[in-house]
A and B are shown apart, each in its own frame.
Chain A
Amino acid sequence: DTGVSQNPRHKITKRGQNVTFRCDPISEHNRLYWYRQTLGQGPEFLTYFQNEAQLEKSRLLSDRFSAERPKGSFSTLEIQRTEQGDSAMYLCASSLVRQMNTEAFFGQGTRLTVV
């Protein structure tokens, strides 16, 4: 297993454009999480899935943000009408929640720059 994979690694877009990021979790991991990290800050939770069901969304996730995990495997995070404040590192993590003491494994992130 190669771990959590995120694509693209970097994305530069013009303000107002839509962008979509992809996350491939560790296979058989049933939970998938999205976080956002700005420079000098810790990651902030956005949303997470249990298989294909979106179980929780943060208030940070405005109407311009949408996430899907259609078959309980990979996930996409779309940002519509991007704003400069959306510039950040978007992190994906996955875990296997079948027992206590689960560990979340993180991908290397997608760095978004809105110009």
Chain B
Amino acid sequence: GNSVTQMEGPVTLSEEAFLTINCTYTATGYPSLFWYVQYPGEGLQLLLKATKADDKGSNKGFEATYRKETTSFHLEKGSVQVSDSAVYFCALQQTSGSRLTFGEGTQLTVNP
């Protein structure tokens, strides 16, 4: 079945540091890939998405590129801010409108 694996453990960075959160997936065909973010006390929000190989999703300074050859969708940001502190979830969707399969989430803490 489909699965998503995110890098283990919380991530703690200083403000303006470079961020990478790794995400790899297992699925058949060409799923759509997503990054969701969950700020403290709030619901999941879509951060960015990519629907086909080599697509780059971007939003709020975050980027991720759909790499079919490595089955990866790593999240990056060049300069993080304290307000980026949240839990980030990688997810895949096999077909449009079908269930989402999530990774376990990565807690990001950015210190001033």
Contact = CB atoms under 8 A, between A and B. Distances in A.
Contact of B101 (A45, A48, A103): A45
A104 B100 contact: yes
Interface in A98-115: 100-109
Contacts of A35: 100
Most buried by A among B36, B43, B104: B43
A33 B99 contact: yes
Nearest to B106: A42
Interface bin, chain B = 20 to 34
A97 B102 contact: no
A22 to B, nearest CB: 15
A31 B93 CA distance: 14
A103 B97 contact: no
Interface in A29-80: 31, 33, 35, 40-45, 48, 56, 58
B95 to A, nearest CB: 10
Given A101-B32, A101-B96, A102-B96, A42 B102 contact: yes
A40 B104 contact: yes
A26 interface: no
B76 to A, nearest CB: 20
A42 B105 contact: yes
A108 B43 contact: yes
B105 A101 contact: no
Given A43-B102, A44-B102, A97 B44 contact: no
Contacts of B46: 103-105
Interface string B44-85: 111001010000000000000000000000000000000000
Contact of A109 (B43, B97, B99): B43
A54 B44 CA distance: 23
A58 B99 CA distance: 10
